[in-house]
Amino acid sequence: MPYTEATIMELMRWRTIIPLNVLRYTLMDTELNGYYIPKENYVILNLWDIHHNPEYWGKDAEDFQVERFLTDDGKQVKKSEYFIPFSIGKRLCPGESFAKMEVFLYFVAIIRKFKVSLPPETKPNLEGNLGIGLAPKPHELCLTKRN
């Protein structure tokens, strides 16, 4: 099911649920990629910017494209070092494996049992409400049971 996995990955990239990572604190003067960061400062990783940066994802970084996570033949999932919805390094989300499994199971169960569509002549607002996370704005969906 590489296409399903790639779809979920693209959803997580395209609409990053936690756009700004948890605050970090510098214990000593640090230099990172040519930038000086003084001791005792807070730093934050902007996951949204990484997931929408054309340098990493191409000119179509703002577009939803499942194929960016698939090999050319579409038979395998292609990983990217810039896909980091659960952060990176020692502070990686401890629930990453569980969350990925749960999202996959829910997604497959819904798609398997229902055809998902929008009500006629409606367009959802995909911007979301920014708080601690990015929450979707309310909108209606039609779920039609599959045979």
Point out the annotated binding site for heme: 93
How large is the greatest C-alpha to C-alpha distance in the chain, in angstroms? 62
Check if the beta carbon of residue 37 is closer than 8 Å to that of residue 30: yes
How many of the other CB atoms lie within 10 Å of CB of 110? 11
Token digits of residue 39 = 């001791």
Please choose, from the candidates 14, 20, 2, the residue with its C-alpha nearest in 3D space to the C-alpha of residue 126. Answer: 14
Q: Which sign does the torsion angle of CA 78, 80, 83, 86 carry?
A: positive
- DSSP per residue, 77-139: B---TT--TT--GGG--TTHHHHHHHHHHHHHHHHHHEEEEPPTT-----S-EESSSEEPPP-
Binding-site residues from annotation: 93
